[in-house]
Copies of this chain bind each other. A is one copy, B any other.
Amino acid sequence: MSPKVTLKAVAAQAGVSYQTVSKVLNGQLQVSPETHQRILEAAQSLGYRPNQIARNMRAGRSFMIGYSWVQTSPDQVNHILDQFLSSMVREAEAAGYHLLPFPFHEGEEQVDAYRELIATRRVDGFVLTSVDYNDPRIHFLLERGFPFVAFGRSNPELDFPWVDVDGAAGTRQAVEYLLARGHRRIAALAWPESSRVGNDRLEGYFQAMQAAGVSLCPHCLLRGEGTFEVGREMTLRLLDLPAGERPTALIALNDTMAIGAMYAARERGLEVGRDLVVIGFDDAPMVQYLYPPLTSIRQPIAQAGRKCVEMLVTLLEGKPLGERHVLLAPRLILRASA
């Protein structure tokens, strides 16, 4: 079993040609019941397993799906990765594919990594994450006509298959909840306007406020990088507003800023959940252990990963895509902070 068991070995044992073994095992040839039996037994007893490299060679494809992700800084957490990767790997394996993770490069050379994987025929398609407006990878792959599915949308005029979480629906849900609890001055800690995901999430905030006929409080929309420190500083500014203008609730476009907000509230001697209500976004695993536990919006990450691979495999098999765009609904997880 350790020396390579090839079709020829099985054929020798079964007393047929190796091509016949191939066809029989792949169900492409009808043979006499006895021969069929002999071949199956030989394959079984020798422990034959097809050499995937040779299969790839013959098929001219690698049955690999390229995937690259931005590595978070060591003090940030990528709680997404485990779920997303695991779900993709499982879905891919079920379809006879595997994932090929490769290092993420910033800037100009980013597309080079994709080009190289295509040129060396290491992958049959890509799953993209962290896409943004005018993502060079999308332009490149569309131009090359190379199969890919993106987790996340980009420019509306670019036509490509994607799966995304409906961020607007998430914040809308959260803001509606806050409005129903009587809050009127609801602040938002947002990302810079250049962030597509940020704009999506923010949209739900506007929608909910407008639908309720509640005008935005002045100074209540703050933007910055989504870090703890930025969240803290923005919140301190909000809390220093005169009493009548000060927001009673706050929604952050990610958990890290929400945690910064909670920290700021404590610095001002306020109790989160009572004096200031805070809602985050992402529902990172640890936020349930914060004091108080953070209300946040959870994305169906595993489902997204499965869907991305499922769609990509459909493309790779040359079948028509049922739905080119999939929008998944996030869920508000209520905890003591709101």
Residues of A at the B interface (CB closer than 8 Å) are 2, 5, 47, 49-54, 56-57, 60, 62, 69, 71-72, 74-79, 81-83, 85-86, 89-90, 93, 98-104, 116, 119-122, 144-145, 228, 256, 259-260, 262-263, 266, 284-286, 288-291, 302
Contact = CB atoms under 8 A, between A and B. Distances in A.
Contact of A82 (B78, B120, B259): B78
A57 B90 CA distance: 26
Nearest to A85: B101
Contacts of A119: 5, 47, 49
A77 B122 contact: no
Given A47-B119, A49-B119, A119-B49, A89 B76 contact: no
Contacts of A104: 86
Contacts of A290: 290
Residue in A50, A77, A260 whose Cβ sees the most chain B Cβ within 10 Å:
A77
**Which 7 pairs across A and B sit closest by C-beta, in order of nearness?**
A49-B119, A77-B285, A78-B82, A52-B120, A286-B286, A71-B86, A57-B57
B86 A82 contact: no
Contacts of A120: 49-52
Contact of A289 (B5, B62, B144, B263): B263
24 contacts: A2-B144, A47-B119, A49-B120, A52-B62, A53-B56, A56-B56, A57-B57, A69-B82, A71-B83, A74-B83, A75-B288, A76-B285, A77-B77, A77-B285, A78-B81, A81-B82, A85-B101, A89-B103, A93-B102, A93-B103, A98-B101, A98-B102, A100-B100, A266-B291
Contacts of A145: 2
A62 B53 CA distance: 7
A75 B79 CA distance: 10
A80 to B, nearest CB: 9
A98 to B, nearest CB: 6
A77 B284 contact: yes
Contacts of A77: 77, 79, 82, 284-286
A24 to B, nearest CB: 19
A284 B83 CA distance: 17
Contacts of A102: 89, 93, 98
Contacts of A262: 291
Contacts of A98: 100-102, 122
Contact of A72 (B5, B82, B284): B82
Contacts of A284: 77, 286
